[in-house]
Amino acid sequence: MSNTQLNRLHLILGGARSGKSRLAENIAKKAESEGLTVCYLATAQAHDEEMNQRIIQHQGDRPQHWDLLESPLYLAEAIKEALQKSDCVLIDCLTLWLSNCLCHENSDFYDQQKTKFIEFLNQFINDKSRYKSKKLIFVSNEVGHGIVPMGELSRQFVDQAGWLHQNLAQLANQVDFVMAGLPLTLKSDVQDNKS
């Protein structure tokens, strides 16, 4: 049985410009070569020119024929929508979604959205009939390797990102950490059949 026949949840972590998005896109391309349709779910918002240029670069790096869904805030609902028409959904990235939610005018917004998100992921994992051949690939920035930030919002962001990554790593079938373009597998439930 190939990996794409399994109910898969793949988390890819790494620093800025580590190669994590490239790895995620290559995994999605492999899933596509095995017959799955791909949707790219973007969470970025272009609030300034530098971010706009980053978005344009990401758009140029991925295949133009993939479906695109943009959802900076309502991630659980967006993933459900994407899975209705696509077999493989690449979400890039979780830390931008987290930042968008933390800066929302409703101070409870992130907690509400995270609860919906984790509830959906549990449903995704447990509902084998509906999601049997579906795949979710999450890209997220690992921000916990530096010093503790000075500002309250920055500390909250680092804490929440760490807790979110721990939650996802518990649920994920595969977790990879990328540095200098090289992936290091932290968790995998795929059996190696080379013996």
Name the DSSP class of 148.
Answer: P
% of the chain exceeding 70 in pLDDT: 94
47, 58, 65, 104: the active-site residue: 58
**Please, how many CA atoms are within 13 Å of residue 148, restricted to the half-sphere of its CB?**
4
Give CA–CA dist 113/56, Å, rounded.
Answer: 27
Exposure of 118 in the CB half-sphere (CA atoms within 13 A): 14
Does 3.40.50.300 match the CATH number of domain 3-187? yes
Catalytic residue check, 10? no
Tell me: pLDDT of 194 over 90.
no
Distance of alpha carbon 114 from alpha carbon 118, whole angstroms: 6
Cα 139 to Cα 13: distance, rounded to the nearest angstrom: 6
Confidence band for 93, pLDDT divided at 50, 70 and 90 = very high
Q: How many helices (H) and strands (E) does the chain have?
A: 7, 7
54 confidence band (pLDDT: 50, 70, 90): confident
Q: Decide: 75 and 119 in contact? Cβ < 8 Å.
A: no
Structure confidence at residue 1 as a pLDDT band (50, 70, 90): very low
pLDDT tens-place string over residues 94-110: 999 999 999 999 999 99
Q: Would you say 89 and 24 are in contact if contact means Cβ atoms under 8 Å apart?
A: no
Q: How confident is the model at residue 195 (pLDDT cuts 50, 70, 90)?
A: very low
Record the pTM. 0.90
With 70 as the cut, is the pLDDT of residue 153 above it? yes
CA 104 to chain centre: 20
Return phi, psi of residue 176, to 5°: -120, 145
Residue 150 has pLDDT above 90, yes or no: no
Rg of the chain over Cα atoms, rounded to whole angstroms, equals 16
36, 4 contact by CB (below 8 A): yes
What ranges do the domains of the chain cover? Answer: 3-187
| pLDDT tens readout for residues 17-36 | 899 999 999 999 999 999 99
Residues 6 or more apart in contact with residue 42 via CB below 8 angstroms: 55, 58, 68, 69, 70, 71, 92
Mean pLDDT, the chain, integer: 90
Other CB atoms closer than 10 Å to residue 44's CB: what's the count? 18
Query: Please, which pLDDT band fits residue 4 given cuts at 50, 70 and 90?
Result: very low
